[in-house]
Structure 1
Amino acid sequence: METKDIHWSTVIKPHTSLLDIDLKELWKYRDLLFLLVKRDFVAFYKQTILGPIWFFIQPLLTTLMYFLIFGRIANLSTDGVPPILFYLAGVTCWSYISECLLKTSDTFIANASIFGKVYFPRLIIPLSIVISNFVRFGIQFSLFLMVWLYYFVNGQVQVTFAIFLLPYLVLIMALLGLGFGIIFSSLTTKYRDLRFLLAFGVQLLMFATPVVYPLSMASEKMRWFLVVNPFTSLIETFRYGFTGSGSFSWMHLGYSSLVAVILLVFGVVIFNKVEKSFMDTV
């Protein structure tokens, strides 16, 4: 009796290397990626009265709150930039950063039921979160552009060359959020307390980032501390590009880029290691 060789259409095997990322496999599951992006986007305003309008209401209300507390009561400087535009710029950037970080950090725990039933590249989940938040960022950025255009037409702000760095800034924000997020998602499979620590830490990190105040306001002793924060140069460059006010440094931007790459590589290493056995601890 002759035996024929069996050729399997799909072979599932563990990663042989901690840095092993099968880009072809990720591309093969692109339809699933788009479905997850659509799910995250629709779930945000499902069963709400105002629906997608919340994407505009949330940054507007946050900006107004910052304007009243930090602009009127605390009377913090905005470096000559109209306060509403200054705070809206910070809110737009920080919302994308914080959402990417917080939601990707919950990858394993929030999707444990899916992971236990069907196979697909686990990195699809955090990637879908980053992309869906990018769509949300695009909507909020359009609101920022409308407000910015009003002040620009009235000659209250200037444009600098850094405005052309916007795609690069968004990319680094996404990489930082993804890197930090998958590191914490890997650690929270064993240490659940980190979820609460991260939520609290992101709130504190916002005040260590020039979201509601300009970098120029910090003293010389404190400025180095703020510059060490990789998010600082991103927000400062964003403001500098659209308002002509703030600080810009190629060195600081390069530092943020380097940190983003290091965190992403380190995050992938931990993610691949935890992925093999996380179902035993979740």
Structure 2
Amino acid sequence: MNDPQQKWTETIETQNSLFDLKLKEVWRYKDLVYMFVKRDFVSSFKQTILGPTWFFINPILTTIVYWIVFGKIAKLPTDGAPQLLFYLAGITLWNYFSSCLLGTSYTFVGNASIFGKVYFPRLVTPLSIVISNLMRFGVQFLLFLLAWTYYFLKGEIHPNIWILATPFLIILMALFALGVGMLFSALTTKYKDLAMLLGFGVSLYMYATPVIYPTSSLIGIFKKISLYNPLTGIFECFKYAWLGVGDFSPLMLSISIVIIFAFFAIGIVIFNKVEKTFMDTV
């Protein structure tokens, strides 16, 4: 029997910080990232008749529905921008954010069988989801550019220099989706009910985000609250840059940046903490 007073002379434990993204290790597994991206892309349209054309069909049909319901029936304002282009701009951004968030939130639960068999940096999985959705976003953004060019040549929109901030806005959306997604991914290892609530919550969140309406249409307390929605500054900046309309200000985007990096930091801490023990609870 071991002596209860015995003291260990050496202790082996992890040296990783909770804020460590393990980017060097992720880079060594870049081939695995590529495989996951390819898998996600192929599996999305496997055994479908139209295949990747769904990238175009989905935003087109959604835009038409929003145009009829919110533009013609509800008559929501678009700050003078062409309604179809206004809704298409919002849908293009929202589809990328929601897909990244929902995909990332299932990192642990959806990949438990793989995680239990072989080691690789767990961050590889959410990163591959963000990249694969970026490819989908690229296709849908091309559709937006085609429509944008049509209205630009007609002189109905007036873009400005903020267009150059578009890559930064996309990165901000990806970081926000990663942060919140990693947070929910960690929580769902113990509380699986959150996975069902998240899908419903994302649907509601869209209506709290200026996807189908401009913030200029909000009044009073609702307009003040909207400023603290991290996506408000991103969506308003994008529409202001490409369509030349909206109630955008640099302060609005600054608030979004601060909140997004806070969520991203929290998501990293919780994700790194849970990844070491999640197999005991999944």
Bin for the TM-score computed over the shorter chain:
over 0.9
1:190–1:235 distance in 2 versus 1, CA, 3 Å: same
Aligned equivalents of 2:264, 2:221: Cα separation in 1: 30
Name the residue aligned to 1:164: 164
SS at match of 1:228: coil
1:15–1:272 distance in 2 versus 1, CA, 3 Å: farther
Aligned equivalents of 1:135, 1:14: Cα separation in 2: 35
Q: Tell me which amino acid in the other structure corresponds to 1:197.
A: L
Which aligned pairs between 1:83-232 and structure 2 lie closer than 5 A?
A: 83-232=83-232
1:135-180 CA-to-partner distances (Å, cap 9, x unmatched) read 1100000000000000000000011111110000000000000000
> Cα RMSD (Å) of the superposition?
1.2
Name the residue aligned to 1:10: none
1:33-60 CA-to-partner distances (Å, cap 9, x unmatched) read 0111111111111110000000000000
- For the 8 Å contact 1:86–1:239, the answer to whether it is kept is yes
- For the 8 Å contact 1:14–1:276, the answer to whether it is kept is no
- For the 8 Å contact 2:227–2:255, the answer to whether it is kept is no
Task: Give how far 1:221 is off.
Answer: 2.2
- For the 8 Å contact 2:234–2:253, the answer to whether it is kept is yes
Aligned equivalents of 1:215, 1:64: Cα separation in 2: 22
Aligned equivalents of 2:258, 2:125: Cα separation in 1: 24
Task: Give how far 1:107 is off.
Answer: 0.4
Name the residue aligned to 1:32: 32
Task: Give how far 1:220 is off.
Answer: 2.6
Provide runs of 4+ in structure 1 moved above 6 Å.
none
Q: Tell me which amino acid in the other structure corresponds to 1:255.
A: I
Task: Give how far 1:249 is off.
Answer: 1.4
Q: Tell me which amino acid in the other structure corresponds to 1:120.
A: F
Name the residue aligned to 2:237: 237
Aligned equivalents of 2:16, 2:81: Cα separation in 1: 53
Q: Does 1:78 align with 2:78?
A: yes
Aligned equivalents of 2:182, 2:135: Cα separation in 1: 20
Aligned equivalents of 2:16, 2:71: Cα separation in 1: 54
Q: Tell me which amino acid in the other structure corresponds to 2:135.
A: V
Task: Give how far 1:261 is off.
Answer: 1.3
Aligned equivalents of 1:194, 1:46: Cα separation in 2: 29
Name the residue aligned to 2:68: 68
- For the 8 Å contact 1:210–1:235, the answer to whether it is kept is yes
Task: Give how far 1:201 is off.
Answer: 0.7
Name the residue aligned to 1:3: none
Aligned equivalents of 2:90, 2:17: Cα separation in 1: 39
Task: Give how far 1:16 is off.
Answer: 3.3
When normalised by structure 1's length, the TM-score is 0.94
Task: Give how far 1:15 is off.
Answer: 5.0
1:15–1:48 distance in 2 versus 1, CA, 3 Å: farther
When normalised by structure 2's length, the TM-score is 0.94
Q: Tell me which amino acid in the other structure corresponds to 2:97.
A: I
Name the residue aligned to 2:3: none
1:281–1:44 distance in 2 versus 1, CA, 3 Å: same
1:207-243 CA-to-partner distances (Å, cap 9, x unmatched) read 0001011111101321011111010110111110111
Task: Give how far 1:21 is off.
Answer: 2.6
SS at match of 1:248: coil
Q: Tell me which amino acid in the other structure corresponds to 2:233.
A: S
Aligned equivalents of 1:122, 1:15: Cα separation in 2: 16
Aligned equivalents of 1:247, 1:41: Cα separation in 2: 36
Task: Give how far 1:251 is off.
Answer: 1.3
State the identity %: 56
Aligned equivalents of 1:16, 1:140: Cα separation in 2: 39
Task: Give how far 1:14 is off.
Answer: 3.9
Aligned equivalents of 1:96, 1:206: Cα separation in 2: 12
Unaligned segments of structure 2, at least 5 residues:
1-12
Aligned equivalents of 2:86, 2:104: Cα separation in 1: 28
- For the 8 Å contact 1:15–1:272, the answer to whether it is kept is no
Aligned equivalents of 1:259, 1:221: Cα separation in 2: 19
How many correspondences in the alignment?
Answer: 271
